[in-house]
Structure formats: structure tokens, C-alpha cells
Amino acid sequence: MINRIKSFLSGLKARQGGPLEEDGDDQVRLCAAALLVEVAWLDQDFDDGERRHIVELLGGRFGLTTEEAETLVAAAEEKVHAATQILPFTRLIKDRFSHVERIEMVEMLWQVVYADGVLHDHEAALMRQIGGLVYVSDQERGAARKRVLARLKSSAG
């Protein structure tokens, strides 16, 4: 597993043509993936369906292949398990994403929250916390949530 992660990060470094920097695009991807994994783990049931959903979201957002996105999720899981708080992840997202990209990130997080069809209180609390830390207003966070719910309703019905 560690070798796959190192290989993934080396591949990203080669595509960028420079050293892997602490605040580079690789770190932004890793922080975004870590937040998605954190939200998925919150209900203590990070199943294969949620994992596939995160892989699809990351692939679409960052233009990654399925294998690259799977490796990124594995690296994010290690980051989340080693982390004691989400602040390092949210700080990098706040600093490196535009306001629109931060709203899109919150929308991706809502998609993971609703992957199991249920919003738990602790998930709602974490979403409020993340929204504040990445400077997405309550109104914008609520609108992102409504867009996700509307998509889920239209795909189910």
C-alpha cells in the first residue's frame, strides 16, 4: 500500500515537472480527499459504495484516472487516521481554492454525507464546522445541500 501511495505521488510530481511541495496541487488533492474520507468515516461505516463515490468525485474534480483516485483515497485514509484534527486540511482548501471551488468542495462533501441516504447529527455538525473553516457561508452551504438533495431525488424518481 505504501509503495502505491509513493508511486502515485511520484507520478504527480513527474507530471508537474518539479518537486512535490508541501502546498502543491498534490497536497490540495490529498486534503480534499481527506475531508471526503473524514465525512465518510464519521458514521463509522465507510463502505465500498461510499469509497467508489469518493473515487468518482475525485476523478471528476481533479481529472484523475480511477486507479489514481483510488490511490489518493488510500493516502487520504492514512492521513485521516494519523490526524488529530481537520484544520490542516481545511486551511489548505481555504487558501488554495477559489470561493466557487470551496462551494463545490462543500457540495462534494454533501454528496458523501448523503451517500447512505441519511443525515446524522454529527455529520451535520461537521458540515457546519467545515463550512466555517473554508469560509463558505451558511446560506451557500445550505444551497449546496439542496442541490445535492434535488439531484438525489431526481435520480431516484
Nine-digit cell at 48? Answer: 465500498
d(CA 9, CA 99): 26
Nine-digit cell at 70? Answer: 483510488
Domain boundaries, the chain: 2-7+25-156
Cell 509503495 identifies what position?
3
Length of the chain: 157
d(CA 135, CA 153): 28
d(CA 105, CA 109): 6
In degrees, rounded to 5, the angle at the alpha carbon of residue 42 between the alpha carbons of residues 138 and 44 is 155
Please, are residues 117 and 109 in contact by the beta-carbon 8 Å criterion? no
Q: What is the pLDDT of residue 93?
A: 97
Q: What is the pLDDT of residue 43?
A: 78
User: What is the number of alpha carbons within 13 Å of residue 84 lying toward its C-beta?
Assistant: 0
How would you write the pLDDT of the chain (157 residues) with one tens digit per residue?
555 555 555 554 444 433 334 448 899 999 999 999 999 998 787 889 899 999 999 999 999 999 999 999 999 999 999 999 999 999 999 999 999 999 999 999 999 999 888 899 999 999 999 999 999 999 999 999 999 999 999 988 6
Q: What is the pLDDT of residue 148?
A: 97
Q: Residues near 87 by Cβ (< 8 Å), separated by ≥ 6? A: 133
CATH topology (fold) of 2-7+25-156: TerB-like (1.10.3680)
